[in-house]
């Protein structure tokens, strides 16, 4: 099913993962611009965004930027009716799988992880996902999961964070 969604001849693919509370458009725009510069703008043909299609936060912001640029978007929303509480994690794996299909077709793929802090009181994962020595807490679970799956698949990952 995923392979059928993949447009042919896409040279560059960005998988976006981030929180529903992400609100830093400037950092996101800079992250995408840095990717283009690194790839060389003349090398970018038919760029594609892979998005989980959340109606707010990082997904929505990235989709808006890509639509405004006239670029393609492949959406892979979470299927809550089929996967319930694990829907986001299942969707993350599907996005990484789609990124791998693009890569196998010859595209360069980048995962952009827009990281916010988990604010869940008494979160049991608090001690498992440490930040930097100068910051306490841990990042949101879905973004961390998607980023980890992308890294495990050998996909280059860029991390962008801010403390909200």
Q: Which domains does the chain have, with CATH numbers?
A: 2-161 (3.40.50)
Q: Of the candidates 104, 133, 131, which has an alpha carbon nearest to the alpha carbon of residue 116?
A: 131
Answer whether 2's CB lies under 8 Å from 94's CB.
yes
- Which pLDDT tens digit goes with each residue over 45-79? 788 999 999 999 999 999 999 999 999 999 999 88
Which whole number is the average pLDDT over 113-134?
Answer: 68
Answer whether 13's CB lies under 8 Å from 51's CB.
no
- Which pLDDT tens digit goes with each residue over 96-108? 999 999 899 888 9
């Amino acid at each position: 099913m995923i392979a059928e969604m993949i447009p042919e001849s896409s040279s560059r693919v960005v998988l976006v993962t981030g929180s529903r509370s992400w609100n830093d458009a400037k950092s996101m725009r800079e992250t995408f611009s840095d990717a283009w510069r690194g790839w060389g703008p003349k090398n970018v043909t038919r760029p594609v965004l892979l998005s989980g299609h959340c109606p707010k936060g990082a997904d929505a912001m990235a989709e808006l930027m890509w639509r405004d640029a006239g670029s393609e978007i492949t959406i892979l929303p979470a299927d809550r009716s089929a996967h319930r509480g694990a829907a986001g994690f299942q969707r993350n794996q599907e996005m990484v799988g789609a990124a791998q299909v693009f890569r196998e077709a010859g595209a360069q793929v980048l995962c952009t992880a827009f990281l916010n802090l988990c604010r869940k009181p008494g979160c049991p994962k608090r001690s498992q996902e440490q930040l930097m020595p100068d910051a306490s807490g841990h990042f949101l679970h879905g973004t961390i999961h998607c980023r980890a799956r992308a890294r495990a698949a050998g996909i280059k990952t860029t991390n962008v964070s801010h403390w909200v």
